[in-house]
């Protein structure tokens, strides 16, 4: 399936248009390398036009009744739902997520995310502070103004709306840049914003290379805040640019997530969740576990069942409804994964699962599920984010050893502990340095719960009521009720 007959356009100042230069970018299906669409390749001039439109629209949008802002978001959610049959194959073909994922997760989650942000956002409030009996002290949430939203390719539509929804309901205007390799559904989202009736300039969507368009958004003096999801290397570059103007950056970055399995864990539950969470979306999920620390008493049973179950994953054409795992997002992802696989083999780690890639998948960005038995936690295989269906398993003696190994990593996004002893589990997660900790669960992420990490995984929170902190700042207001303000000099100066 291709969309070469569809004229994709960016959205600047309420108008759907091509790039100012007329240039385009090719969008390639990672399953077979075929060209599926062309999209505008925007320039710095387009960035400037989009930011100017957002800046002009901000004062009126900020002062629009929040209930009316919510109505527009609910209308946008309804339009997305109406077009799900158009969006599902489009989402699949641009980055390789199988139909089973895009139909059951991506599009429904995008609708739910917007609806939650629109409804919950109407309850945003400030605080009152008992600071002085002769004053009334309070705080108000203020929108930043123009916010730049830069989104990743592994969940193109969901991550875009998870930023757009809270940004808009809190009164910001937006310049949104989707991933260069997978922008199609976000460009459709731009069309839906026009159809929903958002005022000109409130939502702007532009496409182009991150090194040109993305960096121009970050550096623009009229962009008040950046919200970025992606790898830590790019996140550091964004923070470097933003630091020149002390611009705040919300960052949801990489992860090298771990699952700890203790001897008393419920094995059936562990295996099903381990296989699903490790290989869902071909391992291209910032919350997927790629490190497994398994206590020695259950270790042999775990690896036997883990490997047997992972062998049953159907890898193939993402447009086949029966496919469970499609390709990676593009060929460089495959090359990176293959380098780490070679590195693990060269280190002498035992390959428990890793079938040769079938000939009929050779032209795509496919990597088969790989499971290694690891003996060195310091090896790059256990330290770096690979972002592929490639995982390592280590045997541990104690819970304390497992926690220490999990924490011995620069990332801190999420982790899980599997045990029937909840007291032990709670004590363990007290010592785990990750932003999300599950007990007897992994990869359960819903819009109502906060998501974000620590260390080099970033510091922002997506989802839940906490997300509104990312799009507002607290304005402190002091109302003096006394006859006159009191100062330390009041008895020293004669008026």
- 239 pLDDT higher than 80: yes
Q: How far is CA 352 from the centre of its chain?
A: 31
Cβ neighbours of residue 260 under 8 Å, at least 6 residues apart?
A: 293, 294, 396, 399, 402, 403, 406, 415, 416, 417, 418, 428
pLDDT band for 213, please (50, 70, 90 cuts): very high
- Report the predicted TM-score, pTM, of the whole model to 2 decimal places: 0.96
Scored b (16 or more CB within 10 A) or e, 165-194 reads: bbbbbbbbbbbbbbbbbbbbbbbbbbbbbe
**Neighbouring-strand partners of residue 395:** 294
pLDDT at position 485: 84
Q: Average pLDDT over the chain, rounded to whole?
A: 96
| One-character DSSP codes across 364-386 | TT----EEEE-S-TTSHHHHS--
pLDDT at position 414: 98
CA distance linking residue 353 with residue 282, whole number of Å: 15
Tens-digit pLDDT profile for residues 161-189: 999 999 999 999 999 999 999 999 999 99
pLDDT at position 490: 78
pLDDT band for 489, please (50, 70, 90 cuts): confident
Share of the chain above pLDDT 70, in %: 100
Give the tokens for residue 404.
């220490």
375 burial level (CB within 10 Å; 0-12, 13-18, 19+): middle
Tens-digit pLDDT profile for residues 383-405: 999 999 999 999 999 999 999 99
| One-character DSSP codes across 283-349 | G--TT-EEEEEEEHHHHHHHHHHHHHHHTT--BS-TTSTT-SB---SSHHHHHHHHHHHHHHHHTT-
The conformational region for residue 475 under phi > 0 = left, psi -120 to 50 = alpha, else beta, is beta
Number of H helices, E strands in the chain: 15, 21
Q: How far is CA 423 from the centre of its chain?
A: 31
Span 219-248, average pLDDT:
97
Nearest alpha-carbon partner for 414 in 231, 257, 251: 257
Tens-digit pLDDT profile for residues 159-168: 999 999 999 9
Q: Higher confidence at residue 494 or residue 26?
A: 26
pLDDT at position 494: 72
CA distance linking residue 391 with residue 369, whole number of Å: 8
Three-state secondary-structure class, residue 185:
helix
Phi, psi of 331 (to 5 degrees): -65, -30
- 209 pLDDT higher than 90: yes
- 147 pLDDT higher than 80: yes
Alpha helix segments (H runs only) across 14-62: 44-62
Span 92-105, average pLDDT:
96
The residues carrying an active-site annotation are 163, 252, 286, 462
- 464 pLDDT higher than 80: yes
pLDDT band for 16, please (50, 70, 90 cuts): very high
pLDDT at position 237: 97
Span 96-113, average pLDDT:
96
Residue ranges of domains in the chain, CATH in brackets: 10-253+458-477 (3.40.605.10), 257-439 (3.40.309.10)
Query: How many Cβ atoms sit within 10 Å of the Cβ of residue 472?
Result: 21
Q: Can you tell me which residue has the tokens 């669409």?
A: 37
Span 328-332, average pLDDT:
96
CA distance linking residue 417 with residue 396, whole number of Å: 13
pLDDT at position 488: 83
- 33 pLDDT higher than 80: yes
């Amino acid at each position: 399936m291709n969309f070469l007959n569809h004229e994709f356009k960016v959205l600047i100042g309420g108008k759907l248009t091509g790039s100012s230069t007329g240039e385009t970018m090719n969008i390639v299906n990672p399953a077979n390398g075929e060209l599926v669409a062309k999209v505008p390749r925007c320039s710095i001039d387009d960035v400037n036009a989009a930011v100017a439109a957002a800046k002009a629209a901000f004062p009126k949008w900020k002062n629009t009744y929040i209930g009316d802002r919510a109505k527009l978001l609910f209308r946008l959610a309804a339009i997305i739902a109406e077009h799900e049959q158009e969006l599902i194959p489009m989402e699949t073909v641009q980055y390789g997520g199988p139909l089973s994922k895009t139909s059951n997760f991506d599009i429904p989650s995008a609708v739910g995310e917007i609806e939650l942000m629109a409804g919950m956002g109407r309850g945003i409030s400030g605080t009152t502070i008992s600071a002085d009996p002769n004053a009334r002290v309070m705080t108000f949430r203020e929108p930043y103004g123009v916010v730049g939203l830069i989104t990743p390719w592994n969940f193109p539509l969901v991550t875009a709306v998870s930023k757009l929804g809270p940004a808009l309901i809190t009164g910001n205007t937006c310049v949104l840049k989707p991933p260069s390799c997978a922008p199609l559904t976000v460009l459709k989202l731009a069309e839906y914003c026009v159809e929903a009736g958002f005022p000109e300039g409130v939502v702007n969507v532009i496409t182009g290379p991150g090194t040109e368009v993305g960096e121009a958004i970050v550096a623009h003096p009229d962009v008040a805040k950046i919200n970025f999801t992606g790898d830590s290397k790019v996140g550091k570059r964004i923070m470097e640019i933003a630091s020149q103007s002390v611009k705040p950056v919300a960052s949801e970055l990489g992860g090298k997530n771990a699952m700890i399995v203790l001897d008393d864990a419920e094995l059936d539950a562990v295996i099903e969740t381990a296989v699903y969470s490790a290989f869902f979306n071909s391992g291209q999920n910032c919350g997927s576990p790629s490190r497994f620390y398994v206590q020695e008493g259950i270790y042999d049973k775990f690896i036997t069942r883990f490997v047997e179950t992972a062998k049953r994953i159907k890898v193939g054409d993402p447009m086949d409804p029966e496919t469970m795992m499609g390709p990676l997002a593009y060929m460089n992802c495959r090359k990176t994964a293959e380098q780490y696989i070679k590195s693990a083999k060269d280190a002498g780690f035992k390959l428990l699962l890793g079938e040769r890639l079938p000939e009929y998948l050779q032209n795509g960005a496919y990597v088969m599920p790989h499971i290694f038995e690891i003996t060195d936690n310091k090896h790059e295989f256990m330290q770096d984010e690979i972002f592929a269906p490639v995982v390592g398993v280590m045997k541990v003696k104690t819970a304390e050893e497992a926690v220490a190994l999990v924490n011995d990593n620069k990332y801190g996004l999420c982790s899980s502990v599997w045990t029937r002893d909840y007291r032990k589990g709670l004590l363990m997660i007290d010592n785990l340095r990750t932003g999300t900790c599950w007990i007897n669960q992994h990869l359960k992420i819903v819009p109502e719960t906060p998501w974000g990490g620590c260390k080099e995984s970033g510091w922002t929170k997506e989802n839940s009521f906490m997300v509104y902190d990312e799009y507002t700042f607290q304005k402190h207001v002091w109302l003096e009720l006394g006859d006159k303000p009191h100062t330390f000099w009041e008895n020293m100066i004669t008026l």
